[in-house]
Amino acid sequence: KLLSSIIVDEDREMTLEQISEGYRESLNPSLLALAFEKTHKLIINISYRYYGLTEDDIISFGLEKLDYCLINYKSGQALFTTYFTTVLSSKFREETQALNTQKRKAIFYSDSYEVMIENGYDLIAATCEDIGMEDTLISYNLTQRELTYCELIMKNYSNAEISEILEVSIMTLSNMRKKLRQKLSPLALGF
């Protein structure tokens, strides 16, 4: 809706191929907005095949790849929509595979956690201060809400309970977890 306000009415009749040609020459944001308006439903339809992406992710990746495709599209190869669909599908696949990698790592860490308990160290009974975790997390520029989320996870609260405590929706919590995965990725073990 915000982008539609910058679209020049005279350009609305342009095809995506024509928009690509004009955008490549001028990088005019109104042409990007017009292309996004024309491809929005396509972006949403492509995203249905990929589980785990938030609406914000879908729109962000859609705009990013639309910009890339408008600049790099060469007429005569295929229709612009075919080219864009291929590029965007690859991006969505890459992102959902990254999410699946994080899930696999979580399973690995849960197995490791069981080994820690067998060895007599109960991470849940320990507080952040006991293990120096708070200082470690603070060094990754976490917000107070993100720190609270981490502490509640370590105390074995469910996500439903955490969303009530933090007074946020499950979707907001999902977005928070995604940002935390990005911020804390240097802590992950490399395999």
| CB-based contacts of 185-190 (< 8 A; 24+ apart in sequence) | 186/140, 187/136, 187/140, 188/105, 189/105, 189/108
Q: What is this structure's pTM?
A: 0.52
Q: What is the pLDDT of residue 7?
A: 82
CA distance 169 to 147: 17
CA distance 178 to 41: 25
Question: Among residues 150, 155, 53, 125, which one has the least CA distance to residue 96?
Answer: 53
pLDDT digits (tens, 9 = 90+) for 30-47: 998 999 989 999 999 888
Bigger pLDDT: 26 vs 54: 26
Question: Among residues 154, 112, 116, which one has the least CA distance to residue 133?
Answer: 154
Mean pLDDT within 9-31? 89
Least confident range from 36-45, 111-120, 145-154, 173-182: namely 111-120
pLDDT digits (tens, 9 = 90+) for 48-57: 887 777 888 8
Bigger pLDDT: 187 vs 44: 44
Q: What is the pLDDT of residue 70?
A: 92
pLDDT digits (tens, 9 = 90+) for 121-145: 444 444 444 445 566 666 677 888 8
| CB-based contacts of 101-108 (< 8 A; 24+ apart in sequence) | 102/181, 105/188, 105/189, 105/191, 108/189
CA distance 90 to 94: 6
Mean pLDDT within 184-191? 55
Q: What is the pLDDT of residue 130?
A: 44
